[in-house]
Structure 1
Amino acid sequence: MAQGSGRKPLVADKRYSAGGRKAPARKPARKKKPKGKGLFGFLFGGGKKQKPQPTRRKTSTAKPAARKTAPRKSVKRKPKGFFGHFHAAFFGLIRWIFGLFWLVTWRVGMVVGLLVGLAVGYQYLRLPELETLLDGRARGSVTMLDRNSEVFAWRGDQFGGVVTTQTVSPHLKNAIVATEDKRFFGHFGISPRGVASAVRINLREGRGPLSGHGGSTITQQTAKLLCLGVVYDADVWGSEKAYEADCRQGSLWRKITEAIFAVAMEVKYSKDEILTIYMNRAFLGAGARGFEAASQRYFGKSAAEVNPAEAAMLAGLLKAPTRYAPTNNLQRSQDRAQVIVGLMKDQGYLTAAQAQDARDNPAQLSEAAAARAGGYFADWVMDKIPSFFGDQTTEDVIIRTTLDQRLQTAAEEAMAYIFENKVRKGSKAQAAIVVMSADGAVRAMVGGRETRVSGVFNRASQARRQTGSAFKPFVYATALELGYSPLDTVLDAEYCLDIAGSGQWCPKNYTHKFYGEVTLARALRDSLNIPAVKISEAVGRDLVRRVAGEFGLTSELADGPALALGASESTLIEMTGAYAGILNGGSSVTPYGLVELQLMGDDEPMIGISGGMGERVIQASAAQQLTWMMEKVVSEGTGARAQLQGWQVAGKTGTTQAARDAWFVGFTAEYVAGVWMGYDDNTPLSGVTGGGLPAEIWRETMIRVHYGLAPVALPMQAPTPIAVPQPNTDRRRRNSGNNVGQDIGQAVDGFLKELFGN
């Protein structure tokens, strides 16, 4: 640079001057910012802050020398511009939002976690000991045994006894886990994967996320079975159905509470204990609670004995107990079991050979299970016992009954045969059958065309219908008791009576013909109406009503002369019981089905036989003569279609006005059976009389009932031929027409004294 410019020459700063003078202080170096961690590091990273490293001054032993320092070039930064500022501001905002979100989330998470922990702890403290959770029924059960002490029906919630994971068949335990929760032994009570999968499936199928598939673990299902610890209270819920409906609700809050309860159970109980509770409380269709009850009900064996096919069928019931119950649809239940077998194989619980054997030999129902719930007979017995031992029982009750399952099957098959082969297609006509012994013990009962049902209208015991000519034997029973003979005659001719308030009434025969002077035996054989009315009027309607009532026809009987023609109503079981009184020699009968009722575990019965033979109504000789007359009805008269090869049969047809009801009731020396046929709405039958289809149903039933039995003669007595009486002597046995019964004198007085006392 030229001298004289007025400026000092530029020289490098000397770190050390010759004279020891300190160099001017340098500005401290700008601290380097640590490298950024990015968004993930900002949100989730932490760690220790990097300490700034102190600036170390370099020392040198070299002698100071003049050094030229290159002039520092000034770096011009380009202005960021609008987009640069926007970019920086945008990502800064994002970082701030995520930072705030993280700040709030982890704090809320801590609060929620604390609350969940407290909730789990609360539920944990409320959980009782294991033993109290195994039988969760709010009511007891009724088990019915037939006359051979074999189970044929159940009512209420059946509990077969406590089972554990150690006592049941390993196949059953494995089938349950494979079907309901394959991760059961690995999760902590809830399965997020299962819930997510269920939500995805529900949405894909067009349902709400919580509707349909629930993704519940076995632990959660057990929590639901326990109703989250809420115990049934009849005063609160009104009915067990309402209580269970509340337990099954699927709201979001309920799901959350259920999950908390499930986690508490996982803390309180072991996996095997949770599975034990589940196996004992699960409902498995047909009133079975728990796998022991279900195994006994469907297979007649313990849950410890079931094979892979049976285990798969039982486990398959968990999805929909009523739909897949083998008593409702065996094929559907077997198809479901095939799916379970496949799951067990895929998860290693069955070998390929075991799985194939289970597919080739599907589970089959036991005989008792195939009979379902006892049908009409079981319903009738339940109606006859006190409710606190029946449908409202809180105890487990055992009832021994009179049912003979062989005879029940006979009646059901006979009904099906006639309606399939003799009744026009599409007919809505109904029928009912009762079979009993002479002492009133009911052996079979069919209350309608649908035989494998329960809890429906029972036409055998509940339908009160006019009896028609099936009532006539009780008119003749009264006359025979008063001393009439089956060979006494009565004039079958036009006959009219004046009915107070109704005018003149003239009965007609079914054929609209008159047959002149006929014996009582022929009048009954051909079911003539005019002679029956004349005999009833001669012996007195009050006596006829009294005899019929004592034989068991307890319904209100008609007051007018139409009483003799069956204008009164009765049930089939009452009519059959009344005919049983004729067979047994003239003693009254109360039909019964209960032999003994006792509580499970007790040795002494609480209730004994509920019916049977009562007091004598007519003399044995009168009953035997009436049997002789009724045998003619079948062998020679209107009941010919009821004949049984090799057997003597006594019975009576009955057809009401306009053929709204058709009856045939009869007996052999072994059994009494009654058949009714008609429409539920009283529509007239088309071309049907008591001697037609009802007699054929009766015959088909009794053929099966008597199969394998040696014929036995009826206890009947043929009348002694009547000698021709001398003029002006006792005319009682030769009266006929309107004069019949005018001179019965002492016989009537004696009968009245016997019935009503002096």
Structure 2
Amino acid sequence: MSDSRKKKPPLVAEKRYGAKAASPKKAKPARKAKTKKPRSRPATRRPDAKKRTGILGFFTNLILWMLSLIWKVTWRSAMVVGLIIGLAVTYVYLQLPELDELLDGRAQGSVTLQDRNGDVFAWRGDQFGGVVTADTVSRHLKNAVIATEDKRYYRHFGVSPRGVASAVRINLREGRGPLSGHGGSTITQQTAKLLCLGVEYDKTQWESEAAYVSDCRRGSMSRKIKEAIYAMAMEAKYSKDDILSIYLNRAYMGGGAYGAEAAAQRYFGKSAATLNPAESATIAGLLTAPSRLAPTSNLKRSQDRAATVLRLMNDQGLLSDADTKKWQNNPATLSQAAQARAGGYFADWVMSTGPEFFTNNTTEDVIISTTLDQRIQKAAEDGLSWVFENKVREGSKAEAAIVVMSADGAVRAMVGGRQSKVSGAFNRAVQAKRQTGSAFKPFVYATALELGYTHTDTVMDAPYCLNIPGSGEWCPRNYTNKHYGEVSLEWSLMNSLNVPAVKISEAVGRDNVRKVAGDFGIASDLADGPALALGASESTLLEMTGAYAGILNGGSSVTPFGLVELRLQGDAEPLMGTGGGIGERVISDGAARELIYMMSKVVSEGTGARAQLPSWQVAGKTGTTSAAKDAWFIGFTADYVVGVWMGYDDNTPLTGVTGGGLPAEIWREVMQRVTDGMSPRPLPAFTPKPKPRPLPPKRENNRENVLEQLLRGLLGGN
């Protein structure tokens, strides 16, 4: 048995599997088994899965399932939203017009007013200086707009998520709603808003253009989404510079100016291509709040905003430190025309005299040539300011108005109130109807002279009463409450006596007086009673000054005018011409010359002495109404007629003011400036033969009383 064990060696692992391992055919399955090992891994995870079957595992699996679901819903929803946005953008893209159709989007045309020398002094309507592009404007303006409105303009696709997030953060921090206040809009989005997302203004669908614009500016969530889609469509359709060009042409920049070119011309009198950094920053600064920041509204506020824009340009590397400091220290200033603040009262008046469809409602660009003389306009404004600063108590609410015109009715200057640099304000020279007082008396004497009276004819100045049906007895009184006996017409007018004026009016006939005054251009209703002679009727300063111009030109009626010619921009032929001038004769040339002589005595020796001009012959008439509610002085040299009115808007009586006082002084200050540098010319008055002037007769033997009466007669009256 022992031998048999020795013959059979013990089995070992190597020999047990040795034969199989050596078999070449069975080697492949062994390798396959090794490659299949990873596939058997799920079986090894079973122990881990069992570990998650508890409460913790349940919640873990739930969270993983929810995240997986959210992810699947999110990316699928994103795909759907992206598809919808893409379709919407494509639809808008196909609706967008060509670039040229978007550059001028005004619903109203413009009116440009030129003075008598052809220089622009005012604008009305929607100004559009012409098409500009991002390449043709000053690079400083382009940089200022981008620095102020959208510094990442050239890096986004029309909408800036980063800008929106920043705006929302700022709004929340400042206590507003996420969409209230800062909007984070890009220049492209602002342009889309300017285009009203492609919706054109239709009068039949909107109550007014203001309602249309208000709807375009809505900031609701749905509107913001539409705006973003429109902006992206624009980015696909146009280049960045094209979109910027639309923006630079359509943006409102205050003062009635739409677009960069109109703003450059409006404020600085130059092209948008030549703007320096300070001027460019001023215009770019307007985009935030054009009406409030317009330099014509508040120059200091506009300059402060421009300084901020310059700093932003510097922060973004668009302006060097040296240039930033230079232009902040030298802010932009307004052109001379811009300083006039759109022409003031005169421009408003001219616009009101033209046809509505070419002025206030024009859809065309209109050029109006006017009679304005800017040198005379400045003289009127400066003269008025000087008197109120030096002669009127501080804080006075009294107002004044001035009209300067030539003998043919051409208005050379107009001031409708103390605040002369305004637009759209109440114009006291044209709109205020006030009692004229003794300023009406020249028309009483004009009637008498036309009917054959002379300046030497006399009238008795004594107590005088009339019985007026329905009113009883009426007794006119002189300003001095005294009477001077038999006086000449010349002396009566010179001292503005009331009783002789009424007697002459009754003698020549009130109807004749009304006709002469009306033919001279006083179109207001004239009083029917005897108080007509004393200026109880109301009239405007423009009417009265025009009537005096008729006296100066030799007795022919005058229609005051400011509009000389109206034409469309680009047309050589005018559509209409002068709307006024000299009309039909009212009184003879001889009567007019004699009246001018009598009125010259009013200034040289009578109640208008304060209006005297050294070396100049002046004729005129004072006027003060009952209770001193109105004070007038209207006078003329051989060249110009100037009317001055003074009073309170609420008819409060003036204190210590008559027509021969402050109004005459305003007249003199204005005419001193108007005639500066001019050579004096004589008035077209006749030269009377020397005759002794009738003096008031003695009423008492007392010599002192006679001298006193004579002295009071020479100095009295209004």
Deviation at 1:17, TM superposition (A): 11
- Which of 248, 261, 271 is the aligned partner of 2:240? 271
Letter in 1 for 2:628: A
What is the deviation of 1:445?
Answer: 0.4
Q: How many residues matched?
A: 667
User: For the residues of structure 1 that align with 2:209 and 2:374, how far apart are their CA atoms?
Assistant: 33
Rounded to whole Å, the distance in 1 between the matches of 2:182 and 2:497 is: 70
Contact persistence 1:647–1:668 (CA under 8 A): yes
Residues 709 and 17 (structure 1), Cα distance of their counterparts in 2 relative to 1, 3 Å cut? closer
Are residue 365 (structure 1) and residue 334 (structure 2) matched? Answer: yes
1:244 aligned partner: 213
Distance 1:17 1:246 in 2: 92
- In 2, Cα distance between the equivalents of 1:341 and 1:284? 18
- State the match for 1:37 in structure 2: none
Structure-2 residue corresponding to 1:478:
447
Partner of 1:755: none
Aligned position for 1:744: none
- 1:459 matched to 2:428? The reply is yes
Residue equivalent to 2:83: 114
Aligned equivalents of 1:642, 1:305: Cα separation in 2 = 48
Match of 1:517 among 477, 483, 486: 486
TM superposition shift of 1:313 = 1.2
For 1:131-280, list aligned pairs within 5 A: 131-280=100-249
Q: Pairwise mapping of residues 293-312 of structure 1 onto structure 2 (< 5 A)?
A: 293-312=262-281
Partner in structure 2 of residue 284 of structure 1: 253
Give me the whole-angstrom Cα distance separating, in 2, the residues matched to 1:164 and 1:127. Answer: 19
3-state SS of the aligned residue for 2:274? coil
**SS at structure 2 position matched to 1:152:** strand
Paired residue type of 2:463: E
Residue type of the alignment partner of 1:150:
D
Matches within 5 A, 1:521-536: 521-536=490-505
Tell me whether 1:443 sits opposite 2:412 in the alignment: yes
Q: CA deviation at 1:688?
A: 1.3
Superposition pairs for residues 32-181 of structure 1, below 5 Å?
53=38, 85-181=54-150
Q: Within 1, Cα distance between the matches of 2:339 and 2:496?
A: 42
- Kindly state the Cα deviation for residue 595 of structure 1 after the two structures are TM-superposed: 0.4
2:97 is paired with a residue of what secondary structure? coil
- Out of 590, 601, 608, the residue aligned to residue 639 of structure 1 is 608
Q: Which amino acid aligns with 2:607?
A: T
Checking the alignment, whether the CA contact within 8 Å between 1:295 and 1:301 is kept in structure 2 is: yes
Is 1:407 aligned with 2:392? no
Conserved? CA contact 1:412–1:451, under 8 Å: yes
Aligned residue for 1:718, secondary structure, equals coil
Q: Determine the structure 2 residue equivalent to 1:33.
A: none
Q: Determine the structure 2 residue equivalent to 1:617.
A: 586
TM-score of the aligned structures, taking structure 1 as reference length: 0.85
Partner Cα separation in structure 2 for residue 236 and residue 105 of structure 1: 41
What's the CA shift for 1:482? 1.0
Would the aligned equivalents of 1:487 and 1:721 in 2 still touch at CA under 8 Å? no
Give 5+ residue unaligned stretches, structure 2.
1-10, 21-34, 42-46, 698-718
Q: CA deviation at 1:345?
A: 1.9
Task: Check conservation: 2:464, 2:476, Cα contact below 8 A.
Answer: yes
Measure how far apart 1:52 and its partner are.
Answer: 6.9
Aligned to 1:70: none
Kept after mapping to 1: 8 A contact 2:460/2:487: yes
SS of 1:158's equivalent? coil
Q: Which residue in the other structure is 1:339 paired with?
A: 308
Q: Which amino acid aligns with 1:642?
A: A
Question: Partner amino acid for 2:475?
Answer: C
| Equivalent position amino acid for 1:223 in 2 | A
- Partner residue, 1:679: 648
Post-superposition CA distance 1:93-142 (Å, at most 9, x none): 22222222222222221211111111111111110000000000001000
SS of alignment partner, residue 491 of structure 1: strand
Structure 1 residue 652 corresponds to structure 2 residue 621: yes
Q: Name the residue aligned to 2:8.
A: none
Q: Report the CA distance between 1:570 and its aligned residue.
A: 0.4
Per-residue CA distance 1:222-255 (angstroms, 9 max, x = gap): 0011011011112212322111111111111111
Conservation of the 8 A alpha-carbon contact between 1:486 and 1:719: no
> Does 1:351 pair with 2:320?
yes
Q: Does 1:497 align with 2:482?
A: no
Contact 1:403–1:593 (Cα < 8 Å) also in 2 = yes
Match of 1:705 in 2: 674
Deviation at 1:601, TM superposition (A): 0.7
2:532 is aligned with 1:547: no
Deviations 1:393-415 (A, max 9, x none): 00000000000111111111122
Displacement of 1:723: 11
TM-aligned CA deviation for residue 554 of structure 1: 0.7
The AA in structure 1 aligned to 2:38 is: Q
Quote the Cα distance in structure 2 between the aligned partners of 1:656 and 1:565.
9
Per the alignment, do residues 378 and 51 of structure 1 end up closer, same or farther by CA in structure 2, a change over 3 Å counting?
farther
The aligned counterpart of 1:68 is none
Q: Secondary structure at the residue paired with 1:155?
A: strand
Query: What amino acid maps onto 1:413 in structure 2?
Result: D
Tell me which amino acid in the other structure corresponds to 1:451.
Answer: S
Does the CA-based 8 Å contact 2:430-2:542 persist in structure 1? yes
CA distance, structure 1, for counterparts of residue 294 and residue 117 of structure 2 = 27
Please state how far the C-alpha of 1:293 moved relative to its aligned partner. 0.6
1:54, distance to aligned residue in structure 2 (A): 5.3
Query: Aligned residue for 1:605?
Result: 574
Secondary structure of the residue that 1:97 maps to in structure 2? Answer: helix
Structure 1 counterpart of 2:528, which letter?
A: D
Instruction: Tell me the SS of whatever aligns to 1:406.
Output: helix
Q: Give the partner amino acid of 1:353.
A: A
The corresponding residue for 2:349 is: 380
Q: Deviations over 1:728-753 (max 9, x none)?
A: xxxxx99x9xxxxxxxxxxxxxxxxx
Which one has a bigger Cα radius of gyration? Answer: 1
Kept in 2, the 8 Å contact 1:487–1:719? The answer is no
Q: Name the structure 2 match of 1:588.
A: 557
**Which letter does structure 2 place at the counterpart of 1:320?**
A
CA deviation after TM superposition for structure 1 residue 352, in Å: 2.5
| Aligned position for 2:387 | 418
CA RMSD of aligned residues (A): 2.5
TM-score, normalised to structure 2, is 0.89
Distance 2:440 2:15 in 1: 143
What displacement does 1:606 show? 0.4
For the residues of structure 2 that align with 1:120 and 1:542, how far apart are their CA atoms?
78
